[in-house]
Amino acid sequence: MDRTFVMVKPDGVARGLIGEVISRLETKGLRLVAAKLEKLPEKKVMEQYREHLEKPFFPSLRHYITSGPVFLMVWEGKNSVPVVRTLVGATNPADAAPGTIRGDFALDIGRNVIHASDSPESAHREIGIHFSQDELCSYKRVDESVLYE
């Protein structure tokens, strides 16, 4: 099974959307293998957003992402990265389809509720930033036999 990284951002945590996010991913059939609530330290922010460090919006992104706690998760399932990205919706909520997390709960690109890895490589890197191997749980869902061929 593939793994992906998902983070409910400070606006999503403050709005009480953690349960909604978890519910949608579980209902889809994905398996939650790690989760924690954390106020991100500067080092993790710099690692998480390293490709944006030199961009003009980075200072405001850093301020926002450290403004409150985030909910960090690792999800497992077949094709988990593209499956989660589809459930999350377009980065800009104005472009996100109804029925997606951003389409249903976000209005502004700077407060778009959730982050999800955009590739298996990013997922591996991001999981490594936020979780140790010891924090990842392994188990089977009781409905896996009807979820997969």
Q: Is 115 a catalytic residue?
A: yes
Three-class DSSP labels, the chain:
CEEEEEEECHHHHHCCCHHHHHHHHHHHCCEEEEEEEECCCHHHHHHHCHHHCCCCCHHHHHHHHCCCCEEEEEEEECCHHHHHHHHHCCCCHHHCCCCCHHHHHCCECCECCEEECCCHHHHHHHHHHHCCHHHCCCCCCCCHHHHCC
Residue 49 lies in a domain: yes
In a domain, 112, yes or no: yes
145 within a domain of the structure (yes/no): no
| pLDDT digit string (tens) for the chain, length 149 residues | 999 999 999 999 999 999 999 999 999 999 999 999 999 999 999 999 999 999 999 999 999 999 999 999 999 999 999 999 999 999 999 999 999 999 999 999 999 999 999 999 999 999 999 999 999 999 999 999 999 99
Residue-number span of the structural domain to which 97 is assigned: 2-131
Residue 122 pLDDT:
97
User: What CATH number is attached to the domain comprising 27?
Assistant: 3.30.70.141
Determine the Cα–Cα distance for residues 16 and 127; give it in Å rounded to an integer. Answer: 23
> Does a structural domain hold residue 111?
yes
Query: What's the confidence (pLDDT) of residue 15?
Result: 98
Pick the catalytic residue: 52, 115, 124, 130?
115
Structural domains in the chain (count) = 1
Is residue 65 assigned to a domain? Answer: yes
Does some domain include residue 42?
A: yes
Does the residue 141 lie in any domain? no
Backbone angles phi, psi at 82, to 5 degrees: -65, -30
